[in-house]
Amino acid sequence: MSHSIEHKQQQLATTMQLAPVIPVVIIDDARLAVPMARALVAGGIPAIEITLRTPAALDAIRAVANEVEGAIVGVGTVLNGNDLDAALAAGARFAVSPGISPRLLDAADQHELPLLPGIATAGEAMSLLERGYRHLKFFPAVPAGGAKLLSAWASPLPQIRFCPTGGISLGSAPDFLALPNVACVGGSWLTPADKLASRDWAGIELLAREAVALKA
């Protein structure tokens, strides 16, 4: 294994502890990425996940990586090794997947980009624990069982720290963040489409500040 899973897990642990929320960003116009990321960083949110759901995503990651001081930009919706390669080339510092597949995990083993893999069941969590993963994304968090399910896993799977993502809002985030096995949450509410479209950077900075205050 060319890149130690343990080293990558430590990198993920650090990233997940930077702020209570990792914004999950869907961006259609790469030109908006830099001012958006600067607003998030100014509000106290340095780790930013830009999802590969739009053609602008890789350009947006590249721009943030090159131009936004203090930002730790990650890539979301990673499905295969090619996605990992493209994201690393663009300057991403971590990767997030919606689920797991044997091929993706094999590619991640050989890759320097730390992967935060998505899981929805205890069995998936156990199989990743066997491979050395202690930091997992719980997705889709609310439809898959929410804070109650994560709370139930805390006792039998105490080694794992989760970033629940999917259906979480400012109002429901505290229920997750109060759990001993939750390091942070992922949320799309910090960069809503209307604020991106209207270039409301002050509004996004305010949403970031509200998110940081969740663990104050």
Which secondary structure element, helix H or strand E, spans residue 25, and what is its range?
strand 21-25
| Residue at 91 is within a domain | yes
pLDDT in tens, 180-201: 999 999 999 999 999 999 999 9
In contact, 215 and 46? CB cutoff 8 Å: no
Number of domains, the chain: 1
137 flagged as catalytic: yes
| Residue at 46 is within a domain | yes
The share of the chain scoring above pLDDT 90, in percent, equals: 98
| Residue at 74 is within a domain | yes
49 flagged as catalytic: yes
Tell me the CATH number at 110: 3.20.20.70
| Residue at 141 is within a domain | no
Q: Where are the alpha helices (DSSP H) in 131-181?
A: 141-144, 146-153, 173-177
Give the residue numbers spanning the domain of 88.
5-123+184-206
In contact, 186 and 137? CB cutoff 8 Å: yes
Catalytic annotation, pick one of 8, 137, 195, 205: 137
Catalytic annotation, pick one of 8, 49, 195, 205: 49
Q: Is the pLDDT of residue 171 over 90?
A: yes
The pLDDT of residue 1 is: 44
Which residues are CB-contacts of 139 (< 8 A; sequence separation ≥ 6)? 98, 99, 118, 119, 120, 164, 165, 166, 186
